C-alpha cells in the first residue's frame, strides 16, 4: 500500500524514513501540537515550499534545466486567485476563476519560454528566464491600479476559510475548529496530493526520460527522444505546479505582493533548499524545506537565548547576537554543502546503499 502510494520510490534509508515521518506527523498535527499564529504559519509555509521546491527540482534536479523564472509562475498563481477574490468577492467561484486563469497564463508563458528558449544551452537559458521574471516583477509593481503596486492587495476568502467561521461549537484537543484551521488543512492536503503526484511523475517512464536527458541529452536525442519536447513538457509541469503553490500561499496569507511572491529572494531560497535537501530527489524538498523554514524563523530566537546565556563572555555574546542570524544561516548552509555535497537525502541514500552492498 505504502509502496504504491510512493510510486515504488521508497526512502531506502531508515534515518530518512524516520525524518520524513517526523515531518509528516509534525505538519499533520501542527495545529494541535503547536499553539500560536507563528507556529501555524511556519507549518503552512513549509507545506507550500515543499510543493514549490519539488516542482523546481523537477526542472533542475531531474531534467537539468536552470531556470530563474519559477517565482514568476508562483506569483502568477498568487496574483490570479488574489485579484479574482478582490474583484469578484469572497466566493468559491472567484477561487476557481482565479486558479483557472492563473494556470492558463502560466501554461502559455511556460510554452513560449520553453519553445523559444530551451533550444539554447545552460547559462543562456538561465539569463533569458531571469530577464522574463524580472520584467514580470516590474510589471506587477507598476500596474498599481490592478495589482496594488508595491503594497500588494489584501482580500477576503470564502466564508469557510475565514478566521471568524466556526464549524462546530467548542474545541477539540484545545483547538477551535475555525476557518484558519480549515484553511491550514486545505493547504496541507493539497500539498500532500501535489507531492505524491510529482513523485509519480519522476518515477514514470516520462520521468526516466527526463533523467536521461539530464545525464546526456545528445544520447537521448540519438535514441529517438525529442529532447526539446520533453524539456518543454517538464517546464510546463513545473510551472503549473508552482502556480498551484502560489494559489495555496495566497489563500493562506489572504494577501499578494511583489516582495512576498515575486522577489528574487524567494528564488534564492528555493535554490538553497534544493541544494540542502538534494537535487534529483523529491524527498529532498521535504527535508530541505522543513530545515530551512525552521532555521529562517527560529534561528534568531535561539541566538537571542544563547547570547543572553553568554552575557558574561562579551566576545561570544556579541558573536551570537540575534542581529547576526543571517551570518550563521550562511555558515550552516556552507557546512551542509561541505558535509552533504549531494544533499541530505542524497547522503542518506548513498550511505544506506553502501551499507546494503557490504558483504555479509
The model's pLDDT over 89-145, given as tens digits with 9 standing for 90+, comes to 999 999 999 999 999 999 999 988 877 766 666 677 788 888 888 888 888 888 888
* pLDDT (average), residues 188-200: 95
The model's pLDDT over 222-232, given as tens digits with 9 standing for 90+, comes to 888 888 888 88
HEC sequence for 78-120: HHHHHHHHHHHCCCHHHHHHHHHHHHHHHHHHHHHHHHHHCCC
Question: What are the grid coordinates assigned to 137, written together?
Answer: 516583477
Q: In the CATH hierarchy, which fold is given to the domain comprising 22-357?
A: ABC transporter involved in vitamin B12 uptake, BtuC (1.10.3470)
pLDDT at position 33 over 80: yes
Global pTM reads: 0.93
Taking only Cα atoms into account, the Rg of the chain, rounded to an integer number of angstroms, comes to: 21
pLDDT at 29: 93
Question: What are the grid coordinates assigned to 135, written together?
Answer: 520584467
Question: What are the grid coordinates assigned to 66, written together?
Answer: 536552470
Which of 206-220, 304-318, 341-355 tops mean pLDDT?
A: 206-220
Interior CA angle at 264 toward 272 and 285, to 5°?
Answer: 30
**Angstrom distances, CA of residue 295 to CA of 9, 123, 283, 286, 290:** 28, 31, 19, 14, 9
Amino acid at each position: 500500500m505504502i509502496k504504491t502510494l510512493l510510486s515504488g520510490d521508497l526512502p531506502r534509508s531508515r534515518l530518512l524514513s524516520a525524518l520524513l515521518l517526523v515531518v509528516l506527523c509534525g505538519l499533520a498535527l501542527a495545529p494541535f501540537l503547536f499553539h500560536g499564529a507563528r507556529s501555524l504559519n511556519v507549518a503552512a509555509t513549509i507545506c507550500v515550499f515543499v510543493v514549490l521546491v519539488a516542482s523546481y527540482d523537477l526542472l533542475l534536479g531531474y531534467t537539468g534545466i536552470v531556470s530563474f523564472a519559477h517565482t514568476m509562475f508562483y506569483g502568477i498563481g498568487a496574483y490570479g486567485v488574489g485579484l479574482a477574490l478582490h474583484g469578484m468577492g469572497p466566493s468559491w467561484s472567484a477561487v476557481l476563476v482565479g486558479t483557472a486563469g492563473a494556470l492558463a497564463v502560466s501554461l502559455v508563458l511556460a510554452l513560449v519560454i520553453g519553445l523559444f528558449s530551451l533550444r539554447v544551452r545552460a547559462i543562456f537559458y538561465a539569463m533569458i528566464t531571469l530577464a522574463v521574471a524580472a520584467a514580470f516583477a516590474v510589471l506587477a509593481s507598476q500596474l498599481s491600479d490592478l495589482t496594488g503596486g508595491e503594497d500588494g492587495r489584501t482580500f477576503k476568502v470564502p466564508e469557510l476559510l475565514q478566521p471568524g467561521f466556526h464549524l462546530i461549537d467548542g474545541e477539540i484537543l484545545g483547538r477551535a475548529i475555525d476557518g484558519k484551521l480549515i484553511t491550514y488543512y486545505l493547504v496541507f492536503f493539497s500539498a500532500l496530493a501535489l507531492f505524491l503526484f510529482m513523485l509519480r511523475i519522476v518515477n514514470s517512464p516520462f520521468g526516466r526520460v527526463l533523467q536521461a536527458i539530464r545525464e546526456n541529452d545528445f544520447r537521448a536525442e540519438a535514441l529517438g527522444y525529442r529532447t526539446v519536447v520533453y524539456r518543454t513538457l517538464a517546464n510546463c509541469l513545473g510551472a503549473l505546479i508552482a502556480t498551484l503553490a502560489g494559489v495555496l500561499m495566497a489563500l493562506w496569507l489572504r494577501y499578494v505582493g511583489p516582495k512576498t511572491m515575486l522577489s528574487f529572494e524567494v528564488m534564492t531560497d528555493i535554490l538553497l533548499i534544493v541544494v540542502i535537501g538534494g537535487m534529483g530527489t523529491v524527498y529532498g524538498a521535504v527535508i530541505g524545506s522543513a530545515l530551512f523554514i525552521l532555521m529562517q524563523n527560529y534561528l534568531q530566537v535561539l541566538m537571542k537565548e544563547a547570547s543572553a546565556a553568554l552575557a558574561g563572555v562579551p566576545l561570544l555574546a556579541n558573536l551570537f547576537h540575534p542581529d547576526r542570524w543571517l551570518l550563521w544561516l550562511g555558515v550552516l548552509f556552507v557546512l551542509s554543502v561541505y558535509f552533504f555535497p549531494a544533499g541530505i537525502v542524497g547522503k542518506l541514500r548513498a550511505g544506506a546503499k553502501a551499507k546494503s552492498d557490504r558483504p555479509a
